[in-house]
Amino acid sequence: MDVLRKPAFSEAEETLDPFDWSDVRKLSHRMVDDSIDYLRDVRERPAWRKMPFEVKETFERPLPRSPMPLDEVYRQVSDNLMPYPMGNIHPRFWSWYMGSSNFTGALADFLAAVQGSNLGGGNHAAALMDVQVVNWCKEMMGFPASASGTLVSGGSMANLLALTVARNFKAGVNIREDGIGAIERPLRFYASDQVHSCHRKAVEALGLGNKSLRRVPTDAELRIDIAALRAAISEDRAAGFNPACLIATAGTVNTGSIDDLEALADLAAEEALWLHVDGCIGALLAIAPANAYRVSGITRADSVALDPHKWLHAPFEVGCVLVRDASAHRGAFAVTQEYLESTPRGLASGNWLYEYGLQTTRGFRALKVWMALLEHGVEKFGRLIDQNIAQARYLTSLIEQEPLLELVAPTSINIVCFRYKHDGIDEVGRKALNLEIMLRLQEEGIAVLSDTTVHGEHCLRVAVNNHRTRHEDLDMLIQETLRLGALLMP
Ligand SMILES: *Cc1c(COP(=O)(O)O)cnc(C)c1O
């Protein structure tokens, strides 16, 4: 049996496993200790810091060809990477819209990587857990058990998958076989002018084109104007288009406004349109006792995109799409491949999870959501959402009391849009002043905000989506904004 011949020493096989596990054990424990200190002391560090040139330079080094002891590799990580993060785990990080992560989730990502499972499918525990987390998301949204769903990289992918299902379902032709060229009447999707940019990318990627997504004006509360939406739909029908899908936003990225989901569900039913809810920000309000009423209509949607890496604070990345009609969901993506056939028993006897999205190989993103939910229980996550909304309301009241500050949009949930005002400057000067305040807050390590323009008005934007933020952090933001405003515009 020549094939079973033991290799001679000179041709011994290599492996990536360490030569000595006890060395690696010691170093790994140190990494965990350092990580715990890092999180424990996050409040003591600046909210942001500039990377020195020497550090930046290290990221331009060429491909390493020979080995380096892991201790030294880790030293580079602790010196050059860990001190210069995006910063969203900091209690005074309020830019854009992210979660602030959590240590249990980080441990889960580690354990998931240790197991190294591929969640493309199969009969193994991680695949069952992935399905379980989707089922928990359905439960949180009040979706029936018969609905379908899948975990994806984030909200952008969740929205893309939902819009793909909606397109295929409403096209009136066999899109999968014949493509969009076979569509007789061009499809129209509708959303408010506050819709997230990922929807534009989605309709473009779906071959429908940016013009197929009609942006409908919003009212003073930044919610889609239902009368204008009705008018747009009938105008399109009269012009020979095929109105297919309403995209409601539960929590817009600019101001956190929530479209009237009940009214949109009524309209979708009346006009026979697919109702998709982009709930990347607000869908999880459904678990928050004091604020769930704001998204009560979400249970009537055909599909929902939600983002556990935002208000559940899972480490990046994890998003989720739910689709009420399970066969429409699977029908949009399922393919049977000779190399991925199910077997009556064994590993390949499980559910092929790759049939619910675009990826074949899928990472094990369920564990970080699963472990944190088990540890804290969903009710605590609901209370944390209420807490952020109460904090945003507190910040709003501080701004309202301060003559040098003004709100630029109504605070709906946890996003506050405001600016520093000064009688002596015009609009251009005011924008420059506020930008400068924002940059100084960041460069001095005080707080990280972003800016935006709402209905033509430039403003600073504070998104309190952070389980580490306290009231005193918001007090500090106001004090420092006033200090910088006075310094820049004496
Ligand atoms: C964040 C966000 C998205 C995109 O989600 P990602 O997780 O960043 O891909 C889409 N829509 C809204 C309303 C969002 O806030």
Q: For ligand 1, what atom is nearest to the CA of residue 154?
A: 7
Q: Kindly indicate the confidence band of residue 341, based on its pLDDT and cuts at 50, 70 and 90.
A: confident
pLDDT for the residue numbered 12: 81
> Does residue 307 line the site of ligand 1, with CB under 6 A?
yes
10 Å CB burial of residue 90 (0-12, 13-18, 19+) is buried
The β-bridge relationship of strands 242-249 and 213-216 is unpaired
Q: Kindly indicate the confidence band of residue 6, based on its pLDDT and cuts at 50, 70 and 90.
A: low
Query: CA 162 from chain center: how many Å?
Result: 15
> Does residue 154 line the site of ligand 1, with CB under 6 A?
yes
Q: For ligand 1, what atom is nearest to the CA of residue 156?
A: 9
- Ranking 217-221, 249-253, 302-306, 335-339 by mean pLDDT, the lowest is 335-339
Quote the ligand 1 centre to 483 CA distance (angstroms).
Answer: 33
> Does residue 463 line the site of ligand 1, with CB under 6 A?
no
> Does residue 284 line the site of ligand 1, with CB under 6 A?
no
Quote the ligand 1 centre to 155 CA distance (angstroms).
Answer: 5
Q: For ligand 1, what atom is nearest to the CA of residue 159?
A: 10
pLDDT digits (tens, 9 = 90+) for 73-132: 999 999 999 999 999 999 999 999 999 999 999 999 999 999 999 999 889 999 999 999
Q: Kindly indicate the confidence band of residue 350, based on its pLDDT and cuts at 50, 70 and 90.
A: confident
Residue 411: pLDDT above 60?
yes
| 137 Cβ contact partners less than 8 Å away, ≥ 6 residues apart | 143, 149, 306, 308, 320, 322
Is 311 in contact with 465 (CB distance < 8 Å)?
Answer: yes
pLDDT digits (tens, 9 = 90+) for 130-182: 999 999 999 999 999 999 999 999 999 999 999 999 999 999 999 999 999 99
Q: Kindly indicate the confidence band of residue 7, based on its pLDDT and cuts at 50, 70 and 90.
A: low
Cα distances from 259 to residues 97, 192, 217, 221, 246, in angstroms, run 18, 9, 12, 9, 11
Task: Summarize the confidence of residues 362-370 as an average pLDDT.
Answer: 98
Residue 9 half-sphere exposure toward CB, CA atoms < 13 A: 0
> Does residue 122 line the site of ligand 1, with CB under 6 A?
no
Quote the ligand 1 centre to 317 CA distance (angstroms).
Answer: 12
Nearest CA to ligand 1 atom 8: 155
Query: What is the residue-averaged pLDDT of the chain?
Result: 96
pLDDT for the residue numbered 339: 77
Q: Kindly indicate the confidence band of residue 342, based on its pLDDT and cuts at 50, 70 and 90.
A: confident
Single pTM value for the model:
0.96
Q: For ligand 1, what atom is nearest to the CA of residue 319?
A: 7
pLDDT for the residue numbered 9: 55
Nearest CA to ligand 1 atom 2: 280
Residue with tokens 């709930």: 279
3-state secondary structure of 334: coil
> Does residue 98 line the site of ligand 1, with CB under 6 A?
no
- Ranking 203-217, 241-255, 337-351, 457-471 by mean pLDDT, the lowest is 337-351
pLDDT for the residue numbered 395: 98
Quote the ligand 1 centre to 322 CA distance (angstroms).
Answer: 15
DSSP state of 120: T
Nearest CA to ligand 1 atom 5: 155
pLDDT digits (tens, 9 = 90+) for 193-215: 999 999 999 999 999 999 999 99
